[in-house]
């Protein structure tokens, strides 16, 4: 009998333990739920990082619009997108790094039984605005992308939706969200790294975004574009104080990715210099922003740009200025000067009433004032308006007398104003088709290069979601960097 | 009254018996012939009768027997003896060890034993002498080439190298494939095996298949290495002291060019640049040249412009000293074994040092007649001093042009040209400085202890209770010293010499494993011919790991390596994991007439890391063993065939594959969030959803295996051999399939995929010469063949990447191919296989597609072992051959970009025609190229990624080799010399060497193909990089005294 008890004792131990094994499966190191404000904050950082980074593995748009060029490594300025995982980095950076977190934040807010309805509305609206911006970034880069079936872990093979359909859907979402920004209630405050919960500025941000997104489809869907522009125009940014800026801090890893890749404190690489494509016109116009955009070249006091797409010796040309490579240099998502250029264009297209010249002047002034104010060497901020006025007085700058059609005038000045915002500048260049940029040629440059008008789908999608990607490639007319998006009519 | 009558009757009966032949008490003692230790439990029977007795704890027996009767002595593991009843009434018997391997006692599981004849699956036993004759610091090194079916890979270099042990090929795509290590019946880890004192080991039994190890639980689905340490012997006291000194020198260096020095110009006329790291300068001509930039005082070094051997001389001569002490003793009630070892090693890498202290105490005692208690404890403390910058230092060494004697710059603190400020090379720092400035000190302390109670209340039944603890307790500090360049250096060197801010990091952690085993065993004979044994057991195991880590960058005060001395906020992390598992198992063995055995096992596990509904899984196994020569005596009659055993088995084992060795797979089922590194960001935290989604219904990976084999012994030449065929299928592989980032996750872990392995394990031992004068020559060989194939993966993909080296090479699992499969990029070739070159530049190119190269684990392994014994002298040599596999060397930067590699000088840096090439002519046809040379034969070609370095086929080669693994010569001083001293019982002198020679195919210009840059735990074998320094050969001598 004793033996039997001894034999069965361990079995008793068994049953005692099996039930409590569940407790052993709760991770003591990482949480299974997170507060929505923290997810929002992480998403904003992901968005700013992807759009601002100059890293050749992620974002080469400053090269495509020929604001910068490289010294030694010529693959990226010559539009090679397969040597590195460039499409995948952008894709993943936005899908996984931004939308996934916003999605989860939305889920947690909706599931929160203790939150008041108005608070929920306002916070969801903040999330919506950022998410719409992110979806727009994806659609305007790749074209058809997974949208309706995305963000669902049960479905590892989401189908790619038509780009225009997605765009219309997100514009609709933005329209629904905008009034909710003023629902009252407690907005996301501490996690809101753009405006710290200032809803008045959020309303302007939302409307400025609507204006921008609407103008993008101006050539393909002018009716809709006009309607949306007219709605948004009165409520957009009114000064540089309203800029949607992401506040990088000076300590790694939350510092500006430009600093990470260009600042000698953090890297010894010397890959980028200013391109002559942008410096030469600025030299001709005595553009005051050169002080903030570039360093002087070597020992000269001049601004000299390198040949785009060719080998250049770092020390002989102007580099990116010390101001821009500061680790705490802010990352802009949307700014006032951009908004004014859009309004000028809207007037020219007949979408709103007003004076294109007036908006143009405000836009250029805003840009010059912004850069002047940021420059720590500028002792007096009031030099900004004075400089702008002097600049605009030149016949080649003044709206009435500048060269070309309104597209060329706005296109060229906007290109200068969007210096350092490569991705946005690339979108505008595709839309307005000015300034005229030529791909590199001659020497040992391979023949037949063209500037990309979209980014190809990530190579890895061919193995992960091959059938759907094939279908999408067929639908857009080929998964190539030369396939134009639906709004890029000209 | 009745009793008196009975007694009287007995007495009457006895009297006549007494007159016929007196039956009296015979006494005696039974001892083992080899070492005269007495043997308890020996069966002493009177021939022809059932009566008998057993020897007691002292080996003594008493039995009543008559003159003329024969006493039969039998004991497991020893040859039976029959002795006529002696006239004196007292007899001492010496039993010889049973050399018949069929009767050898082997461990099956959980401490249960059986004779080899009963085993239905392949297993090999290695004895202490084979394991220690090469005197390795880690016993895993001596397993290579000795065990059929076992692949031993020494994956790293330097101090305390790590070994990857895999039996029967890789079964799991991403999970653990390494054999389970069991030490003294306790589940242990491979790093304890690497650090256990090899002298403590009595034997290692290798159980190849999952079937043989199904009773150890799902961790043994990869086979098991069962290590038994020495326990002491009753009646024999032995004290042993020995010392071994081993010298270590690099044996295999990469092939470098010795014709060209510093320079980087791409065009046809190379210019000499005194401070360059690249070696595309002019050819060596012996003239005096400057090197480096001048110091502040204007001085500059001048050297003759010719090749020196300093890149080979950089590697030191290493020295290891090992001192051992052991005491083994025992009496009738208890035995004990105590040992201590101190090892001190300096390897071939400058500044590396390793110390190990090991202490062991094993003891057992018969408390009562049938209750035995024993304990085995072992404590090992290791201290290592290494560098985390070994790969950097090796690359810096290759980036040193060969006209410079790098070994002069050892004293970088005082030598102005060795100091980073004045070092000649602008782009690659002094390798001595790289190593000295980046140090990682680590302390790993291991404790393993168990206690056993065995109770044998009645003969057939015994109970065993075992509790054991295995702990690893570690801490360490890594540091990079702060270095500020002088203003003068910064002014002349610009951004190539940037200040090092310095950093320090500390970690501390522990791993604990607690195991409780309870086993009930029942052994009996059901009938005269049918034996039956059964065991039922349960085991309970808990594992917990914890790690705390802090790091700070930017040191304020030089040389003060403390976290408080940093400018930045320290980064800190803490991790802890805990898991439990419970198992219940049973086994039964039927034996029919000692020649047919059937063995059945079954086990059920509950694992805490799985979800509640999938937590429990059951797996059975069965095997059969048939001794043909005992069943059919006719087979053995000719005297040619001594034994023939036919065996076969089937098993099913599940292995849970979640997480890794550190996190134990705990908590893997939950999606969690993490803060970005560096948060909080100004005011708040920022959490992001993790990348990985684990399917909630994750199940264990199941391996179904079957094997069949024969073992035979042939009398002439004492031949023994065997061959086993096996096949295993592992399905429900747990792999992470990548999903489109559009789902919000990057990967999904789910059960999908199947891998099949089949192969042959064979061995043959011959003793061709065995003479009476003591000369004995024996040869042993074993051959292993493994064929591995991925049968299926997931619906979405036919490929599962495991590791990659940029876009040049990768290791993956691909449906229809073996895994790990190496793929590299290749030159673009025309339909006839010629390399396509550009008709203008003569340069080749690649389009970036990956092509299969081959499997990276050897399909063929052959070990050949020869021993010559002559009286007290013993010589042994072991060779190993591996072939059929490939390796990729991720060293194109250090080798071709630097210009150090032999490849870059094949054509003397002149323009050359790419051999076997063609170009497209105006008609679009490919024409053989005999005249278009490359535009540049120097830096423009060899350093360029698209023309040379990104073409992986240039750095992939066959990983085959022949190695002289071990050679040892041992001499035991004859007893006649020693008898002069009363206390020294033996002196042994030996000389031994390991990894003495390596022969590799010509295509291998680089390094030892056994290395794996991804470490022991990774299945992605097949890449080497510069973190693996040149391999070493070891040779040394030992002197040992036995008292």
Cα separation, B966 vs B135, in Å, equals 10
Cα separation, B658 vs B14, in Å, equals 75
**Helix ranges, B679-742 (H):** none
* Residue B849 CB burial class (10 angstroms; 0-12, 13-18, ≥19): exposed
CB count within 10 Å of CB B342 equals 16
State yes or no: cis peptide before A253, omega within 30 of 0: yes
Q: Which residues of B touch A28 (CB under 8 A)?
A: 576, 667
A154 to chain B: closest CA residue: B743
Alpha carbon of A489 to those of A172, A479, A484: distances in Å? 23, 18, 8
A32/B670 CB distance under 8 A? yes
State yes or no: cis peptide before A435, omega within 30 of 0: yes
- Best probe of the A interface among B742, B744, B846, B944, by most A CBs < 10 A, is B742
State yes or no: cis peptide before B1025, omega within 30 of 0: no
Cα separation, A403 vs A413, in Å, equals 11
- Best probe of the A interface among B741, B807, B935, by most A CBs < 10 A, is B741
| B370 contacts chain A (CB < 8 A) | no
Q: Which residues of A touch B457 (CB under 8 A)?
A: 3
| B674 contacts chain A (CB < 8 A) | yes
Checking if the pLDDT of B781 tops 70, the result is: yes
Alpha carbon of A335 to those of A212, A349, A371, B862: distances in Å? 11, 21, 12, 71
A41/B681 CB distance under 8 A? yes
Alpha carbon of B866 to those of B779, B945, B992: distances in Å? 4, 48, 14
The shortest C-alpha distance from A39 to chain B (Å) reads 5
A99/B744 CB distance under 8 A? yes
Comparing CB atoms, the residue among A21, A104, A150 nearest residue B742 is A150
B685/A38 CB distance under 8 A? yes
Structure confidence at residue B13 as a pLDDT band (50, 70, 90): very low
Mean pLDDT of A398-421: 92
B682/A35 CB distance under 8 A? no
Give every CB contact of residue B1020 below 8 A, 6+ residues apart in sequence: B802, B803, B811, B820, B1012, B1014
User: Two tokens at B311?
Assistant: 């890149």
| pLDDT number for residue B61 | 85
The shortest C-alpha distance from B941 to chain A (Å) reads 15
The 3 state secondary structure assigned to B806-855 is CCCEEEEEECCCCCCEEEEECCCECCCCCEEECCCCCCECCCCCEEEEEE
Taking a C-beta distance cutoff of 8 angstroms, is the pair A223, A303 a contact? Answer: no
**Residue at token pair 């002291």:** B241
Checking if the pLDDT of B854 tops 90, the result is: yes
Structure confidence at residue B983 as a pLDDT band (50, 70, 90): confident
Cα separation, B933 vs B915, in Å, equals 10
Alpha carbon of B706 to those of A42, B627, B649: distances in Å? 52, 19, 6
User: Two tokens at B101?
Assistant: 């391997």
Structure confidence at residue B214 as a pLDDT band (50, 70, 90): low
Cα separation, B23 vs B109, in Å, equals 45
Phi and psi at residue B362, to the nearest 5°: -120, 135
The shortest C-alpha distance from B974 to chain A (Å) reads 54
| pLDDT number for residue B504 | 92
CATH of the domain spanning B20-98:
2.60.40.1120
How many inter-chain contacts (A to B, CB under 8 Å) are there?
A: 199
**Residue at token pair 């009476």:** B772
| pLDDT number for residue B707 | 92
Q: Which residues of B touch A152 (CB under 8 A)?
A: 743-744
Strand B90-95 relative to strand B23-32: parallel, antiparallel, unpaired? parallel
Structure confidence at residue B518 as a pLDDT band (50, 70, 90): very high
Separate counts of helices (H) and strands (E) for chain A: 19, 6
Closest CA to A428 of A362, A488, A352: A488
Q: Which residues of A touch B676 (CB under 8 A)?
A: 42, 45, 253-254
State yes or no: cis peptide before B680, omega within 30 of 0: yes
| B534 contacts chain A (CB < 8 A) | no
Checking if the pLDDT of B426 tops 80, the result is: yes
Alpha carbon of B135 to those of B25, B197, B1039: distances in Å? 51, 10, 12
Taking a C-beta distance cutoff of 8 angstroms, is the pair B594, B530 a contact? Answer: no
| pLDDT number for residue A318 | 92
| pLDDT number for residue B815 | 93
DSSP codes joined into one string, A174-235:
HHHHHHHTTS-SPPP-TT-TTTTT-HHHHHHHHHHHHHHHHHHTTTT-HHHHHHHHHHHGGG
Closest CA to B454 of B366, B332, B584: B366
A32/B495 CB distance under 8 A? no
User: Two tokens at B876?
Assistant: 């042994």
Q: What is the DSSP letter of A446?
A: P
B669/A25 CB distance under 8 A? yes
B519 to chain A: closest CA residue: A7
A268/B681 CB distance under 8 A? no
Structure confidence at residue B11 as a pLDDT band (50, 70, 90): very low
Taking a C-beta distance cutoff of 8 angstroms, is the pair B966, B142 a contact? Answer: yes
User: Two tokens at B745?
Assistant: 């996750």
Do the interacting molecules here have an ipTM over 0.90? no
Checking if the pLDDT of B46 tops 50, the result is: yes
Q: Which residues of A touch B935 (CB under 8 A)?
A: none
A26 to chain B: closest CA residue: B667
B607 to chain A: closest CA residue: A21
- Best probe of the B interface among A14, A15, A22, A27, by most B CBs < 10 A, is A27
E strand residue ranges, A271-317: 272-274
| B536 contacts chain A (CB < 8 A) | yes
B743/A92 CB distance under 8 A? no
Q: Which residues pair with B835 in a beta bridge?
A: B829, B917
A159 to chain B: closest CA residue: B742
| B275 contacts chain A (CB < 8 A) | no
Q: Helix, strand, coil % (nearest 5) of chain A?
A: 50, 5, 45
A24/B672 CB distance under 8 A? no
Comparing CB atoms, the residue among B496, B516, B672 nearest residue A30 is B672
Cα separation, B469 vs B456, in Å, equals 25
The shortest C-alpha distance from B546 to chain A (Å) reads 11
The shortest C-alpha distance from A108 to chain B (Å) reads 12
Cα separation, B703 vs B180, in Å, equals 15
A100 to chain B: closest CA residue: B744
Question: What pLDDT digit, counting tens, does each position of A59-87 carry?
Answer: 999 999 999 999 988 889 999 888 888 99
Q: Which residues of A touch B463 (CB under 8 A)?
A: 3, 6-7
- Best probe of the A interface among B740, B842, B847, B943, by most A CBs < 10 A, is B740
Alpha carbon of A166 to those of A7, A136, A489, A490, B638: distances in Å? 68, 9, 18, 22, 88
Checking if the pLDDT of B751 tops 90, the result is: no
Checking if the pLDDT of A285 tops 60, the result is: yes
Q: Which residues of B touch A33 (CB under 8 A)?
A: 673
| pLDDT number for residue A12 | 42
A463 to chain B: closest CA residue: B797
Question: What pLDDT digit, counting tens, does each position of B262-272 carry?
Answer: 888 766 678 88
User: Two tokens at B56?
Assistant: 């007691």
Structure confidence at residue A28 as a pLDDT band (50, 70, 90): low
Ordered by start, the domain boundaries in chain B are: 20-98, 259-306, 822-846+893-955+1004-1012
Comparing CB atoms, the residue among A190, A464, A466 nearest residue B683 is A190
A34/B673 CB distance under 8 A? yes
A153 to chain B: closest CA residue: B743
Checking if the pLDDT of B15 tops 50, the result is: no
| B579 contacts chain A (CB < 8 A) | yes
Mean pLDDT of A199-213: 94
**Residue at token pair 């391109």:** A275
- Best probe of the A interface among B465, B680, B743, by most A CBs < 10 A, is B743
With 0.90 as the threshold, say if the pTM is over it: no
Q: Which residues of B touch A465 (CB under 8 A)?
A: 740, 742, 796
The mean of the pLDDT values for chain A is: 88
Cα separation, B1004 vs A134, in Å, equals 50
Closest CA to A445 of A312, A270, A314, A311: A311
B666 to chain A: closest CA residue: A25
Cα separation, B664 vs B541, in Å, equals 13
Cα separation, B10 vs A329, in Å, equals 114
Taking a C-beta distance cutoff of 8 angstroms, is the pair A375, A291 a contact? Answer: yes
Query: What b/e string do you get for B693-720 counting C-beta neighbours within 10 Å, with b at 16 or more?
Result: bbeeebbbbbbbbbbbbbbbbbeeebbb
Phi and psi at residue B901, to the nearest 5°: -70, 150
Q: Which residues of B touch A7 (CB under 8 A)?
A: 463, 520, 536
Comparing CB atoms, the residue among B461, B667, B685 nearest residue A27 is B667
Checking if the pLDDT of A7 tops 60, the result is: no
Cα separation, B396 vs B390, in Å, equals 10
Taking a C-beta distance cutoff of 8 angstroms, is the pair A181, A447 a contact? Answer: no
A30/B737 CB distance under 8 A? no
For domain A36-236+459-476, the question of CATH label 1.25.40.390 is answered with: yes
Structure confidence at residue B772 as a pLDDT band (50, 70, 90): confident
């Amino acid at each position: 009998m004793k033996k039997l008890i001894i034999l069965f004792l361990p079995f008793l131990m068994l049953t005692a333990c099996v039930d409590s094994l569940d407790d052993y499966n709760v991770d003591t190191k990482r949480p299974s739920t997170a507060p929505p404000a923290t997810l929002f904050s992480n998403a904003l950082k992901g968005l700013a990082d992807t759009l601002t980074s100059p890293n050749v593995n992620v974002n080469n748009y400053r090269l495509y619009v020929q604001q910068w060029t490289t010294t030694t490594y010529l693959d990226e300025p010559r539009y090679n997108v397969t040597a590195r995982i460039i499409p995948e980095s952008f894709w993943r950076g936005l899908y996984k790094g931004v939308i996934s977190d916003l999605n989860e934040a939305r889920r947690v807010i909706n599931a929160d039984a203790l939150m008041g309805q108005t608070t929920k509305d306002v916070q969801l609206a903040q999330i919506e605005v950022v998410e719409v911006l992110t979806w727009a970034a994806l659609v305007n880069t790749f074209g058809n992308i997974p949208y309706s079936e995305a963000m669902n872990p049960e479905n590892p093979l989401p189908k790619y939706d038509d780009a225009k359909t997605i765009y219309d859907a997100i514009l609709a979402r933005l329209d629904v969200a905008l009034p909710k920004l003023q629902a009252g209630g407690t907005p996301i405050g501490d996690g809101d790294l753009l405006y710290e919960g200032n809803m008045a500025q959020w309303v302007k941000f939302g409307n400025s975004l609507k204006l921008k997104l609407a103008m993008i489809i101006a050539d393909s869907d002018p009716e809709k574009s006009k309607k949306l522009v007219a709605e948004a125009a009165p409520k957009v940014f009114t000064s540089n104080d309203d800029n949607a800026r992401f506040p990088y801090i000076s300590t790694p890893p939350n510092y500006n990715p430009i600093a990470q890749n260009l600042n000698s404190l953090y890297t010894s690489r010397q890959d980028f210099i200013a391109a002559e494509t942008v410096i030469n016109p600025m030299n001709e116009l005595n553009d005051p922003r050169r002080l903030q955009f570039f360093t002087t070249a070597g020992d000269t006091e001049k601004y000299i740009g390198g040949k785009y797409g060719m080998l250049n010796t770092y020390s002989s040309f102007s580099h990116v200025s010390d101001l821009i490579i500061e680790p705490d240099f802010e990352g802009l998502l949307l700014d006032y000067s951009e908004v004014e250029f859009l309004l000028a264009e809207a007037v020219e297209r007949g979408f709103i009433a007003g004076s294109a010249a007036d908006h143009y002047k405000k836009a250029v002034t805003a840009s010059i004032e912004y850069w002047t104010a940021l420059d720590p060497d500028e002792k007096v901020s009031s030099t900004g308006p004075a400089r702008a006025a002097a600049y605009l007085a030149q016949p080649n700058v003044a709206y009435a007398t500048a060269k070309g059609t309104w597209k060329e005038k706005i296109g060229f000045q906007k290109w200068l104003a969007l210096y350092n915002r490569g991705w946005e500048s690339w979108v505008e260049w595709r839309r307005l088709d000015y300034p005229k940029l030529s791909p590199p040629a001659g020497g040992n440059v391979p023949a037949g290069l063209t500037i990309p008008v979209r980014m190809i789908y990530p190579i890895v999608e061919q193995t992960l979601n091959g059938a759907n990607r094939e279908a999408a490639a067929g639908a857009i007319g080929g998964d190539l960097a030369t396939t134009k998006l639906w709004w890029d009519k000209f | 009254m009745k009793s008196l009558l009975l007694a009287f009757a007995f007495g009457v009966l006895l009297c006549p018996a007494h007159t016929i032949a007196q039956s009296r008490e015979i006494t005696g003692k039974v001892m083992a012939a080899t070492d005269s230790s007495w043997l308890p439990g020996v069966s002493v029977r009177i021939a022809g009768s059932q009566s008998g007795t057993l020897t007691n704890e002292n080996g003594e027996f008493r039995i009543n027997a008559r003159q003329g009767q024969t006493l039969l002595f039998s004991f497991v593991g020893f040859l039976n003896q029959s002795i006529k009843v002696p006239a004196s009434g007292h007899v001492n018997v010496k039993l010889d060890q049973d050399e018949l391997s069929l009767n050898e006692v082997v461990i099956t599981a959980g401490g249960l034993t059986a004779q080899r004849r009963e085993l239905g699956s392949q297993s090999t036993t290695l004895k202490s002498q084979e394991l220690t004759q090469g005197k390795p610091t880690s016993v895993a090194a001596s397993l290579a080439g000795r065990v059929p079916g076992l692949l031993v890979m020494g994956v790293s270099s330097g101090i305390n190298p790590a070994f990857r042990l895999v039996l029967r090929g890789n079964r799991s795509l991403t999970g653990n494939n390494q054999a389970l290590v069991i030490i003294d019946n306790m589940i242990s880890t491979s790093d304890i095996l690497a650090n256990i004192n090899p002298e403590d080991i009595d034997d290692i039994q290798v159980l190849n298949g999952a079937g043989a190890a199904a009773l150890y639980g799902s961790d043994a689905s990869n086979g098991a290495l069962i290590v038994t340490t020495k326990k002491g012997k009753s009646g024999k006291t032995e004290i042993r002291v020995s010392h071994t000194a081993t010298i270590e020198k690099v044996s295999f260096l990469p092939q470098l060019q010795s014709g060209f020095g510093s320079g980087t110009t791409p065009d046809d006329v190379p210019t000499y640049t005194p401070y360059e790291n690249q070696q595309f300068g002019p050819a060596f001509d012996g003239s005096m040249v400057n090197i480096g930039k001048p110091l502040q005082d204007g001085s500059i070094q001048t050297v003759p412009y010719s090749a020196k051997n300093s890149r080979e001389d950089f590697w030191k001569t290493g020295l290891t000293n090992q001192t051992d002490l052991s005491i083994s003793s025992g009496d009738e009630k208890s035995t004990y074994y105590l040992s201590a070892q101190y090892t001190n090693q300096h390897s071939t890498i400058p500044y590396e040092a390793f110390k190990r202290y090991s202490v062991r105490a094993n003891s057992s005692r018969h408390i009562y007649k049938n209750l035995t208690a024993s304990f085995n404890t072992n404590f090992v403390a290791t201290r290592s001093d290494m560098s985390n910058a070994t790969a950097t230092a090796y690359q810096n060494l290759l980036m040193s042009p060969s006209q410079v004697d790098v070994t002069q710059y050892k004293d970088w603190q005082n030598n102005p040209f060795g100091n980073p400020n004045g070092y000649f090379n602008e782009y690659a720092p002094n390798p001595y400085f790289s190593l000295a400035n980046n140090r990682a000190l680590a302390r790993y302390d291991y404790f393993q202890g168990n206690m056993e109670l065995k109770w044998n209340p009645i003969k057939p039944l015994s109970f065993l209770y075992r509790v054991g603890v295995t702990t690893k307790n570690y801490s360490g500090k890594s540091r990079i010293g702060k270095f500020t360049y002088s203003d003068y250096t910064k002014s002349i060197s610009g951004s190539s010499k940037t200040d090092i801010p310095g950093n320090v990091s500390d970690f501390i952690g522990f791993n604990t494993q607690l195991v409780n085993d309870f086993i009930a065993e029942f052994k009996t004979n059901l009938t005269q011919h049918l034996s039956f044994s059964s065991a039922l057991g349960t085991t309970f195991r808990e594992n917990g790991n914890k790690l705390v880590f802090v790091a700070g960058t930017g040191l304020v005060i030089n040389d003060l390596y403390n976290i408080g001395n940093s400018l930045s906020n320290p980064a800190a992390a803490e991790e802890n994991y805990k898991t439990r598992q419970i198992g219940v198992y049973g086994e039964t063995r039927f034996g029919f007439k000692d020649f047919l055995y059937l063995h059945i096992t079954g086990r059920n596990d509950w694992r805490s890391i799985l979800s509640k509904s999938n937590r429990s899984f059951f797996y059975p196994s069965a095997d059969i063993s048939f001794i043909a020569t005992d069943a059919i005596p006719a087979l053995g009659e000719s005297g040619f065939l001594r034994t023939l055993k036919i065996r076969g088995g089937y098993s099913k084992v599940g292995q849970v594959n979640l997480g890794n060795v550190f996190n134990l797979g705990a908590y893997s089922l939950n999606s969690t969030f993490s803060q970005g590194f560096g948060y909080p960001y100004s005011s708040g935290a920022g959490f992001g959803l993790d990348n990985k989604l684990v399917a909630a219904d994750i199940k264990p990976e199941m391996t179904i295996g079957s094997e069949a084999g024969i073992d035979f012994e042939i009398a002439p030449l004492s031949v023994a051999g065997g061959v086993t065929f096996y096949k295993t299928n592992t399905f429900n592989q747990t792999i992470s399939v990548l999903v489109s980032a559009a789902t919000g996750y990057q990967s999904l872990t789910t059960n999908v995929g199947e891998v099949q392995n089949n192969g042959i394990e064979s061995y043959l031992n011959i003793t061709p010469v065995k003479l009476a004068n003591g000369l004995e020559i024996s040869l042993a060989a074993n051959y292993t063949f493994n064929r591995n194939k991925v049968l299926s993966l997931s619906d979405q993909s036919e490929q599962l990447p495991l590791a990659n080296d940029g876009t040049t090479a990768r290791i993956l699992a691909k449906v229809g191919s073996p895994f790990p499969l190496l793929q590299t990029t290749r030159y673009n070739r025309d339909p006839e296989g010629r390399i396509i070159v550009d008709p203008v530049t003569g340069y080749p190119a690649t389009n970036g597609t990956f092509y299969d190269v081959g499997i990276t684990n050897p399909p063929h392994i052959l070990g050949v072992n020869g021993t010559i014994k002559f009286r007290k002298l013993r010589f042994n040599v072991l060779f190993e051959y591996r072939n059929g596999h490939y390796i990729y060397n991720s060293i194109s930067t250090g080798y071709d970009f630097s210009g150090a590699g032999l490849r870059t000088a094949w054509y003397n840096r002149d323009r050359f025609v790419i051999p076997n090439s063609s170009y497209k002519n105006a008609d679009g046809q490919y024409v053989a190229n005999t005249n278009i040379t490359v535009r540049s034969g120097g830096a423009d070609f060899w350093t360029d990624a698209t023309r040379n370095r990104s073409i992986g086929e240039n750095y992939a080669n066959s990983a085959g080799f022949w190695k002289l693994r071990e050679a040892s010569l041992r001499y035991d001083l004859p007893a006649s010399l020693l008898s002069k001293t009363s206390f020294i019982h033996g002196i042994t002198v030996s000389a031994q060497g390991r990894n003495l020679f390596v022969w590799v195919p010509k295509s291998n210009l680089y390094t030892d193909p056994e290395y794996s840059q991804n470490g022991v735990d990774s299945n992605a074998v097949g890449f080497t990089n510069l973190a693996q320094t040149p391999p070493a050969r070891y040779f040394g001598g030992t002197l040992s005294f036995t008292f």
